[in-house]
């Protein structure tokens, strides 16, 4: 079950009109944050080599898909 107070606060903070919209926004934010974390981890290992320009291009491409 969802915590009603937390859900109400999330709806207020995200300016959502419905619970469904709030949850969709929360999931999108979670996925985005986890992708950033995974990218930061990969960049720190040297496994993922790229330039700042390439990162910006990828970000624009990902944003266009969402």
Higher pLDDT, 55 or 35: 35
pLDDT digits (tens, 9 = 90+) for 18-48: 999 999 999 999 999 999 998 888 777 766 6
Q: What distance lies between CA 53 and its chain's CA centroid?
A: 21
Range of lowest pLDDT (32-36, 47-51, 60-64):
47-51
Mean pLDDT (the chain) is: 89
**In the chain, where are the structural domains located?**
4-65
Q: Which residues contact 62 (CB under 8 A, 6 or more apart)?
A: 35
pTM comes to 0.62
SS3 assignment, position 35:
helix
pLDDT reading at 64 higher than 90? no
């Amino acid at each position: 079950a969802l915590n009603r107070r937390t859900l109400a606060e999330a709806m207020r903070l995200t300016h959502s009109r419905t619970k469904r919209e709030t949850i969709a926004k929360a999931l999108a934010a979670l996925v985005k944050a986890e992708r950033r974390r995974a990218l930061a981890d990969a960049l720190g290992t040297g496994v993922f080599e790229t330039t700042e320009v390439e990162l910006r291009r990828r970000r624009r491409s990902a944003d266009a898909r969402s």
